[in-house]
């Protein structure tokens, strides 16, 4: 395990990938690669964060993000505690401010928050002295998902991001994953394409560093990877997609589409997948799919994030 003390990590919190430099990203991914080695051992635990406390404050439902942060903390020997909205005083009318101050009074080193309101993580970061990790806030950002996606791609591509092309396909408008990935991939030199129905493109997309398509056959041609997104029906207004069958016919990634991409093209999906609507069964389970690699990458990447934030004041962090 490499925790190089010569690198100075300057961030108290991880709220969005926009706060990170290219050097920050490379260091974090290198550190995640070191932690990935731990995850392959028969005994997957080290005492690195022994005595540190991580609170998982998930106001929104989550399987992958919450579980992988929990596993990441435990593998570093941190004490992790979970709090959901249903088990908190938010359900009794308590404000986010008062809940945050209550959690801080218990002395955590890091709080990971997922919230339906954009800016909730930044609000807590301004309020509290402990490290705050944004586990997803509204439509705004999901930094650790973008980092783990790039970690998965680096395992497939090596360090050759510059000049690569990647297509993000699906519900762009409601996706914090898309927003974080566009910025991070662009920072690393990847040419990003978007493909979606016009009603599922965000306002101002013309100002993003992307190329926008409405035809999947054209969008997928010669790309190095395709990232499918979940169709977030729970966030959509009525009428954006009057016919799911038509959406599937035009925007579900299938084998014929992938044949138009480059021969070694990879497929990603942040999950949960709606098979047959966003991605076909044959592609979801194909050798080109990195879906399960992303899950494994999530643990290693979140181990790196927790380590960097929990040890930044210890006098010699990575």
Q: What is the pLDDT of residue 24?
A: 98
Q: Is 142 flagged in the annotation as binding?
A: yes
Q: Is 6 flagged in the annotation as binding?
A: no
Share of the chain above pLDDT 90, in %: 85
Q: What is the pLDDT of residue 2?
A: 56
Question: Average pLDDT, stretch 69-74?
Answer: 98
Whether the per-residue pLDDT at 237 is higher than 90: the answer is: no
Between 39 and 234, the more confident residue is 39
CA distance 296 to 218: 32
CA distance 307 to 310: 5
Q: Dump pLDDT digits (tens) for 33-51.
A: 999 999 999 999 999 999 9
Question: Average pLDDT, stretch 119-145?
Answer: 97
Q: What is the pLDDT of residue 101?
A: 96
Q: What is the pLDDT of residue 316?
A: 47
Q: Is 276 flagged in the annotation as binding?
A: no
Whether the per-residue pLDDT at 233 is higher than 80: the answer is: no
What is residue 7's DSSP assignment? S
Q: What is the pLDDT of residue 91?
A: 64
Whether the per-residue pLDDT at 242 is higher than 90: the answer is: no
Q: Is 108 flagged in the annotation as binding?
A: no
Q: What is the pLDDT of residue 232?
A: 79
Q: What is the pLDDT of residue 169?
A: 98
Beta bridge partners of 111: 55, 132
Q: Are 66 and 54 in contact (CB under 8 A)?
A: no
* Secondary-structure breakdown of the chain: helix, strand, coil percentages, each rounded to the nearest 5: 40, 15, 40
Q: Is 230 flagged in the annotation as binding?
A: yes
Q: Is 221 flagged in the annotation as binding?
A: no
Question: Average pLDDT, stretch 306-316?
Answer: 87
Domains in the chain: ranges and CATH: 17-142+296-310 (3.40.50.1370), 145-291 (3.40.50.1370)
Q: Is 271 flagged in the annotation as binding?
A: yes
Sign of the four-CA dihedral 311, 110, 229, 209:
negative
Between 228 and 232, the more confident residue is 228
Beginning with the edge strand found earlier in the chain, give each strand of the sheet holding 131-137 in spatial order: 79-84, 53-58, 110-115, 131-137
Which candidate, 70, 67, 75, 72, places its Cα nearest to that of 47? 75
Q: Dump pLDDT digits (tens) for 253-284.
A: 999 999 999 999 999 999 999 999 999 999 99
Containing H/E element for 116?
Answer: none
The number of beta carbons lying within 10 Å of the beta carbon of residue 24 is 18
Q: Is 235 flagged in the annotation as binding?
A: no
Q: Dump pLDDT digits (tens) for 172-187.
A: 999 999 999 999 999 9
Whether the per-residue pLDDT at 133 is higher than 80: the answer is: yes
Whether the per-residue pLDDT at 3 is higher than 80: the answer is: no
Between 231 and 132, the more confident residue is 132
The mean of the pLDDT values for the chain is 93
CA distance 169 to 158: 23
Q: Is 145 flagged in the annotation as binding?
A: yes
Q: Is 3 flagged in the annotation as binding?
A: no
Report residue 313's pLDDT band, with 50, 70 and 90 as the boundaries. Answer: confident
């Amino acid at each position: 395990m490499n925790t190089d003390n010569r690198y100075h990590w300057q961030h108290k919190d991880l709220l969005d990938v926009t706060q990170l430099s290219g050097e920050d990203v490379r260091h974090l991914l290198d550190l995640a690669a070191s932690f990935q080695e731990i995850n392959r051992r028969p005994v997957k635990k080290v005492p690195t964060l022994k005595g540190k406390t991580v609170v998982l404050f998930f106001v929104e439902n989550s399987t992958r993000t919450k579980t992988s942060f929990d596993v990441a903390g435990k593998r570093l020997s941190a004490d992790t505690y979970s709090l959901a909205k249903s088990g908190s005083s938010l359900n009794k009318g308590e404000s986010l401010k008062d809940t945050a101050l209550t959690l801080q009074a218990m002395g955590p080193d890091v709080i990971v928050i997922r919230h339906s309101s954009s800016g909730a993580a930044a609000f807590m970061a301004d309020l509290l002295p402990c490290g705050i990790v944004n586990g997803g806030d509204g439509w705004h950002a999901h930094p650790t998902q973008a980092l783990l996606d790039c970690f998965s791609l680096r395992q497939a591509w090596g360090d050759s991001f510059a000049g690569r092309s990647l297509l993000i396909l699906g519900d762009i408008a409601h996706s914090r994953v898309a927003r974080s990935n566009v910025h991070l991939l662009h920072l690393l030199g990847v040419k990003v394409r978007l493909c979606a129905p016009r009603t599922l493109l965000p306002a101002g997309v013309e100002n993003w560093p992307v190329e926008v398509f409405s035809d999947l056959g054209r969008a997928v041609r010669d790309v190095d990877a395709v990232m499918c997104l979940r169709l977030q029906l729970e966030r959509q207004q009525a009428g954006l997609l009057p016919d799911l069958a038509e959406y599937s016919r035009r925007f579900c990634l299938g084998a014929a589409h992938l044949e138009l991409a480059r021969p070694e093209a990879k497929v990603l999906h942040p999950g949960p997948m709606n098979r047959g609507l966003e991605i076909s069964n044959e592609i979801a389970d194909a050798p080109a799919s990195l879906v399960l690699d992303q899950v494994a990458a999530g643990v290693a990447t979140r181990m790196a994030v927790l380590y960097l934030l929990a040890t930044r004041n210890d006098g010699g962090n990575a």
